[in-house]
Amino acid sequence: MKAKITAFIDELITYDYILFGSVFGLFILFIILGIVLRKKIALAILLILLAFTILLAGPTIGYVKMHDYIFKNTTELTSQKKLSFTQAVVVKGKITNESKRFFNSCNITASANKVSNNELKNYLYSFKSFANMSIMEQNIAVGETREFKIIIEPFTYSKDFNVSIGAKCK
């Protein structure tokens, strides 16, 4: 757990520090406003509740939304093929850097999920994939589209399946 926290802190960028600082500043501002307006109980309680909501939800939601915007990319699945003589699936796709920043590295993940005729089951299966494989692509320029191939092995599932791909870039 300590290693994960250390890795998270090491990977923070300047915008993250600005986000966390501004969230803490808003928290302090609303707390002070709640104290100043203590004569109006309902407004003071609302401001205090708003301050703690901002403190708890602001960094998490802000971090996710900001990184989705700053490191925007598109992955496209071009083909998937289950091999006959080995227990593997070959997944081919493309990744496009749609942000205004150079990507030093992208972790591209292919996940295989079960498929059924029931829509509810398909929704639940999308959360739990039975096979995953990841690769790293290095140095993707702004606007560049790069093709990749991932081999998911061992792949012993014999029924219908669906493969999805995604990428997290830095």
80 and 148, same domain (yes or no) = yes
109 pLDDT tier (thresholds 50, 70, 90): very high
59 and 81, same domain (yes or no) = no
66 and 77, same domain (yes or no) = no
143 and 80, same domain (yes or no) = yes
94 and 139, same domain (yes or no) = yes
37 pLDDT tier (thresholds 50, 70, 90): very high
80 and 163, same domain (yes or no) = yes
Range of the domain at 162: 73-169
SS3 content of the chain, % helix, strand, coil (to 5): 40, 35, 25
Name the domain boundary from 30, 48, 70.
70
62 and 103, same domain (yes or no) = no
Q: What are phi and psi of 5, to 5 degrees?
A: -65, -40
Percent residues over pLDDT 90 in the chain: 54
Name the domain boundary from 70, 90, 110.
70
66 and 82, same domain (yes or no) = no
Name the domain boundary from 70, 91, 126.
70
56 and 84, same domain (yes or no) = no
Q: pLDDT tens, 79-101? A: 888 888 888 889 999 999 999 88
One DSSP character per residue, 94-141 reads EEEE-SSS-EEEEEEEEEEEE--S-HHHHHHHTTS-SEEEEEEEEEE-
41 DSSP assignment: H
| Number of domain units in the chain | 2
Helix (H, G, I), strand (E, B) or coil at 154: coil
Q: pLDDT tens, 38-84? A: 999 999 999 999 999 999 999 999 999 999 899 999 999 998 888 88
In this prediction the pTM is: 0.78
61 and 116, same domain (yes or no) = no
